[in-house]
Amino acid sequence: MSHQTPNSILQIIATPIGNMDDITLRALAAFKSCDVIAAEDTRHTRRLLLHHQIDKPLMSCHGFNEASRVNQILDRLGRGERVALVSDAGTPTISDPGSRIIRAVIDAGHAVEVIPGACALIAGLTGSGLSCDQFHFVGFLPRKTGSRKNALRKLESLSGSIITYESPYRICGLLEDIAALWPDAQVVVARELTKKFEEYWRGTATEVAARSLKQKILGEFVVIFQLETACKKGTQPL
């Protein structure tokens, strides 16, 4: 069903997390009808637009200039323009910039609309086979092992699945820390979702951590784990 989109609107648009075809028809229509696209990295978004044969003006809008872009976006909306907001991959604001602009647009009384689509945490959780009834997304955990273990211990009382994002530089460290705290926790690593080398590593924390050490680590990762069973067996001392 289609509905009329008002002029003077901020459209928050999810873009692919790897496969350029993972974009909705609504997203493509919104790109075509907007006045400008506020993009985390304009070069990155231009490649996506080129793939879908769309030509639109872009303005850069990333974590470091978000505050100063707010007024420009509000000015445009004040003139009745339509502004599309995208991040480099997936859903804007999810471990990505965008929240500050959305808040300011709402506070100024303009309409916002979400055009949903890819999101790595939902894709990873869905393919993990772990419980999707209840889940907790904790974004990127601290980089250093001491603070990361402290952050992990605070999750111990949570039921359901816990989802984190991690970079190739720290994935081994994260898996080792989970294994050190809860060797029997069920862990799934979703690597390179929607891309050529998409794969899942599944097993206990100890098994998955051992596997990560055996190979050269490249790519993007979502880590999903469940603590209920592991915690019944007792947490390992730090």
Q: Which of 86, 221, 224, 227 binds ligand SAM (CB under 6 A)?
A: 221
Provide the H-helix boundaries in the chain: 25-33, 42-51, 66-78, 99-107, 120-128, 145-153, 171-181, 205-213, 228-232
Taking the complex as a whole, the smallest distance from the CB of residue 8 to ligand SAM amounts, in Å, to: 26
The tokens describing 26, both together, are 């609504």
- Site size for ligand SAM (CB under 6 A): 23
Q: Classify 213 as helix, strand or coil.
A: helix
Binding test (CB under 6 A) with ligand SAM, winner from 42, 72, 131, 194: 194
| Site residues (CB under 6 A) for ligand SAM, limited to 75-114 | 87, 89-91, 94-96
Three-class secondary structure of residue 86 per DSSP: strand
Q: Which of 22, 66, 177, 220 binds ligand SAM (CB under 6 A)?
A: 220
Backbone angles phi, psi at 78, to 5 degrees: -60, -30
Least Å distance, CB 27 to ligand SAM, is 13
Residue with tokens 């190979």: 215
CB-CB contact of 170 with 200 (8 Å): no
Judged by CB under 6 A, the chain residues 14 through 43 that form the site for ligand SAM are: 17-18
* Minimum CB distance to ligand SAM, residue 219 (Å): 7
Dist. CA 159–CA 148, nearest whole Å: 19
193 binds ligand SAM, rule: CB under 6 A: yes
Q: Residue 74 CA to chain centroid, in angstroms?
A: 26
The pattern of x and - marking residues 116 through 135 that bind ligand SAM according to CB under 6 A reads ---xxx--------------
192 binds ligand SAM (CB under 6 A): yes
Residues within the interface to ligand SAM (CB under 6 A): 17-18, 87, 89-91, 94-96, 119-121, 165-167, 190, 192-195, 220-222
